[in-house]
Structure 1
Amino acid sequence: MFFVNDDYYTLDDLEKQYAVFESMPHIRDCHNKRLAVCITDVFQWLALCLYIRRKGGSVVPIHPSTPKDGAVRIASSANSHLLLFGSIEFPIELTVKENEKEGVLVQMSSGTTGAPKCIERTWDSVEEEVDSYVTVLPADHTRKSIIACPMTHSYGLISGFFACVKRGAEPVILTNMNPKYILKKLQEYKKYILYAAPALLYTLSRFLPSDQKFDYVMTSGTVMPSSWLALLRDSSNLVLQQYGCSEAGCITLHPDVQNSSEMGYILPHLKVDAGNVDASGEIIVYTSAQTIYTKDIGYIENGVLSFLSRMDDMINVAGLNVYPQEVENILMDEPRITEAVVYKKQNALSGERVCVQYVSSERVDEIELREWCGKYLAPHQIPMEFIQVDEIEKLPNGKVSRKKLGGVLA
């Protein structure tokens, strides 16, 4: 059925776990109920998710590292009836306005540009996404999905786990994020797709022995710096990329990404509008049930959707648009810089200005960076503020909040 680290679970194990759920009224009677789940046992979490879906209930996945008070806050904001925190035996009852009319998967948006939103997706819409995703994914039942990302997020849960089961392959879920452990596990399989965040893929690429190669790797979540992608392509048989949003799940998939801004081809069950290469625009997604304004800027060329920036992240310098990714790629090409994030700060007199935090293998003089940027960027694109840090602050999902890094420029 599937692996969790070094443990293998069969269909019999799953049915035994279902029997345990049937003995617990607060889980058994989940039809038209919304259960928030924050537990560390990945097998139990997946079994519970599948069980609740079968029963017609709703589930709110909460990252297992979330503290109790935080989990209660998330569960309450998602209008949950119960919170299962730490274990399934002792539920925390919550006050809700009304029961569910239809079972849904509830997810919280990333919150990279503001307060997280509660997103509800019917189980039918999730199934429609999985069916569409499997038809375009260049993999059959012989290629496992190795999932090295949170199983409470749609990337790991839907694209990684549900889609792998749908195509008849066995998922391998890794919760031990030690790079050496992951590389060791990869050696156990000849054909696989590794699902991971860009930062982890980059780290694994650096640790990978020179005589070895990854099979297939999938990246998603944030645009990978061009230098990272080049390294990953050199060390992989195939690099894939997908793009999505909380409301629709996966929207596009690229079967062989060579430019990190190219998100790929639109999944068959969706329609997407965006600008063109000469006039970019907001990416708008049409599902069978709704129209989704993503607040992402991009364009479509030759059927491929390219992503430029979040609307909130784009920097307007005296009427000229600056896309953070373009500046980051130039900075990352400087040999000593290993990571960079570009964001905007507001100047009381001159408006928005470009700023950057970066991680380097050694101290780098700001004058050197300005000279480097001046070779490749227009004057309005060059950061006004360079801040060298040991580590760039990230959200629990591994993404960077540019809004959080910004502020007022003196």
Structure 2
Amino acid sequence: MFFVDDNYYTLDDIEKQFAVFEGIPYIKECENRRIAVCMSDAFQWLALCFYVQRKGGSVVPIHSSTPREGAIRLATLTHSHILLFQSLHMPLHISTTENKREGFLIQMSSGTTGTPKVIERSWESIEEELTSYVEALPIDAETTSIVACPVTHSYGLISGFLACLKRGAEPIIITNMNPKYILKKLEQYPNHIVYAAPVLLHTLACFLPSSQMFHSVMTSGTVMPTNWLELLNKKSSRVLQQYGCSEAGCVAIHPGVQDAKEMGYSLSHVKVEAGSIDMPAEIVIHTAMNTISTKDLGYIENGVVSFLSRMDDMINVAGLNVYPAEVENTLMTEPRIVEAVVYKKENPLSGERVCVQYVATGHIDEGEIREWCRERLAPHQIPVEIIRVDEIEKLPNGKISRKKLGGFIS
């Protein structure tokens, strides 16, 4: 049925785990209740997810690296009845409120632009997404999904894991994030599609032996720097990209990415609206049940949805718009800069300013960076604050919180 690293689990293993759940009252009686789950054991988490879905309950997946107090906070925020923290047999009781209706996968918005929101997605809506997703994915049933991203996040759980099962293949879930281990798995399964965050895909591409090629890779979550995408295309038969949001899941897939901002073609179960290339506007998603304002800025041309920036991440410098990705791509053409993130800081007197953190292979004088930018960017795009770091801080899902990096300039 599926692998977790080197361990293979069959449908019989799932049924045996279901029998264990039947002997635990607070799990067995999960109908119209919601269970928050923070576990390092990926098999137990996935089996529990299947079980609660069958029973008509709801689950709240929490990344396994979350500390106990953080998991309790998320379980409380999502109105969970119990929290299973690294154990099936020591539940933490959170709420006694009985709900009239459950049957959801409960997720949190990324929280990069404000207070995180609780997102409730019915199992029926996820099944609709899976059907549309598999129809659009240009991958056959013989291709193995290698899921090198958290299966507590919709990208790994729905797109990577569940979609692979739906098309009749056996997914491999990777929890050992050592690049050498992942590359060994790719070599074992040459007909593969790798699901991972852009930063990991770039790392794997750098480590990939000259004798080895990626078959297919899928990227999502944030716009990949141009030079990263160029490298990945050189080392892959196909680079795909998908786009979506917590409320709707995946809504677009690009079958062969050459331009990182092009997210792809809309899936059949949704309608996506945006601006034009000359006048970008908010990307709006229409599902069968509701309309979702994404707060993403983009446009549609020739049927392809393109993403420019989070509307809250766009930097307004004296009335002129600065899109972080444009500045990041320019900085990363400097041979010594391997990663950069551009964000804004605000000042009550001077307004928004362009700031950057970067990772480099060697020393670069700040004046050199400013000169590099002056030759390639408009004056309003040039960073005011330039900070070198050993590593750019990321969220558990691989994304960067530009808001967290920002703040106010004193």
Residue 355 of structure 1 corresponds to: 355
Give CA-to-partner distance per residue, 1:171-207, whole Å, 9 cap, x none: 1000000001100111101211100000000000000
Structure 2 CA distance for aligned equivalents of residues 407 and 104 of structure 1: 35
List aligned pairs for 1:328-367, cutoff 5 A: 328-367=328-367
Which residue matches 2:55?
55
After TM superposition, list the pairs within 5 Å mapping 1:25-174 onto structure 2: 25-174=25-174
Matched, 1:296 2:309: no
Distance apart, 1:399 and its partner CA: 1.2
User: Matched residues in 2 for 1:275 and 1:97: separation?
Assistant: 44
Q: Which amino acid aligns with 1:403?
A: K
Structure 1 letter corresponding to 2:159? S
Alpha-carbon deviation of 1:100? Answer: 4.5
Whole-angstrom distance in 2 between the partners of 1:117 and 1:100 = 21
- The alpha carbon displacement at 1:407 in A equals 2.0
For residues 295 and 379 of structure 2, the distance between their equivalents in structure 1, rounded to whole angstroms, comes to 27
- Counterpart position of 1:186: 186
Q: Which moved more, 1:201-210 or 1:88-97?
A: 88-97
Partner of 1:197: 197
**Secondary structure, in 3 states, of the residue corresponding to 1:238?**
strand
CA distance in 2, matches of 1:350, 1:12: 64
Q: Is the 1:82–1:93 contact (alpha carbons within 8 Å) kept by the matching residues of 2?
A: yes
Q: Distance in 1 between matches of 2:40 and 2:408?
A: 40
The aligned counterpart of 1:385 is 385
- Secondary structure of the equivalent of 2:357? strand
Instruction: Provide Cα deviations, 1:2-43, integer angstroms capped at 9, x if missing partner.
Output: 000001011111111111111111111111110111111111
Q: Which runs of 4+ in 1 moved over 4 A?
A: none
**CA distance in structure 2 between the aligned counterparts of 1:91 and 1:162, rounded to whole angstroms:** 27
Corresponding residue of 1:375: 375
Deviations 1:52-73 (A, max 9, x none): 0011000000111111111111
**Alignment-mate amino acid for residue 252 of structure 2:** T
Q: Per-residue deviation at 1:96?
A: 4.4
Deviation at 1:396, TM superposition (A): 2.1
Contact 1:83/1:92 (CA < 8 Å) preserved in 2?
yes
Q: Secondary structure at the match of 1:376?
A: coil
* Aligned-partner SS, 1:187: helix
Q: Offset at 1:299?
A: 0.2
After superposition, the C-alpha distances for 1:337-362 in whole angstroms (9 at most, x for unaligned) are 00000011113322111111111111
> SS where residue 232 of structure 1 aligns?
helix
Q: Secondary structure at the match of 2:237?
A: strand
Instruction: Give deviations 1:314-372, integer Å, cap 9, x for gaps.
Output: 00011110000000000011100000000111133221111111111111111111111
Distance 1:157 1:331 in 2: 34
Deviation at residue 408 of structure 1 after TM alignment:
2.3
| 1:251 Cα deviation from its structure 2 partner | 1.1
Measured after TM superposition, the shift of residue 83 of structure 1 is: 0.8
Q: Secondary structure at the match of 1:27?
A: helix
C-alpha separation between the residues in 1 aligned to 2:109 and 2:325?
21
Q: Is the 8 A contact 1:183 1:208 kept in 2?
A: yes
Q: Which moved further from structure 2: 387-396 or 182-191?
A: 387-396
Return the alpha-carbon distance in structure 2 between the equivalents of residues 26 and 102 of structure 1: 15
Q: Is the 8 A contact 2:34 2:102 kept in 1?
A: no
Conserved in 2, the CA contact under 8 Å of 1:34 and 1:100?
no
Cα distance in 2 between the residues matched to 1:308 and 1:261? 6
- How far apart are the structure 2 equivalents of 1:69 and 1:8? 33
Partner residue of 1:23? 23
Q: Contact 2:216–2:237 at 8 Å: present in 1 too?
A: yes
Question: How large is the Cα RMSD of the aligned pairs?
Answer: 0.9
Deviates more, 1:18-27 or 1:161-170: 18-27
Question: 1:45: Cα distance to partner?
Answer: 0.6
| 2:124 counterpart letter in structure 1 | D
Secondary structure of the 1:193 match is strand
**Preserved contact between residue 33 and residue 98 of structure 2 (Cα < 8 Å):** no
- Checking the alignment, whether the CA contact within 8 Å between 2:282 and 2:296 is kept in structure 1 is yes
Contact 1:79 1:96 in 2 (8 A): no
Q: Which amino acid aligns with 1:242?
A: Q
**Could you list the per-position Cα deviations for residues 207-242 of structure 1 after superposition, in whole angstroms to 9, with x for gaps in the alignment?**
001121011000001110000000011011100000
Q: Which runs of 5+ in 1 are unaligned?
A: none
Q: Deviations over 1:149-192 (max 9, x none)?
A: 00100000000011000000001000000001100111101211
Structure-to-structure mapping, 1:388-407, within 5 angstroms? 388-407=388-407
TM-score (ref. length: structure 2): 0.99
3-state DSSP class of the match of 2:188?
Answer: coil
Amino acid at match of 1:408: F
Please state whether the residue corresponding to 2:205 is helix, strand or coil: helix
What CA distance in whole angstroms lies between the structure 2 residues aligned with 1:177 and 1:226?
24
Corresponding residue for residue 177 of structure 2 = 177
Q: Which has the larger displacement, 119-128 or 390-399?
A: 390-399
Unaligned runs of 5+ in 2: none
The aligned residue for residue 6 of structure 2 is 6
Give, as a single letter, the amino acid of the residue that structure 2 aligns with 1:171: P
Q: Distance in 2 between matches of 1:144 and 1:361?
A: 35
Cα distance between partner residues in 2 of 1:115 and 1:333: 35
- The amino acid of 1:160's aligned partner reads G
Percent identity of the aligned residues? 68
Whole-angstrom distance in 2 between the partners of 1:100 and 1:53? 16
Q: Which letter maps to 1:346?
A: E
Is the contact made by 1:218 and 1:241 (CA closer than 8 Å) also made in structure 2? yes
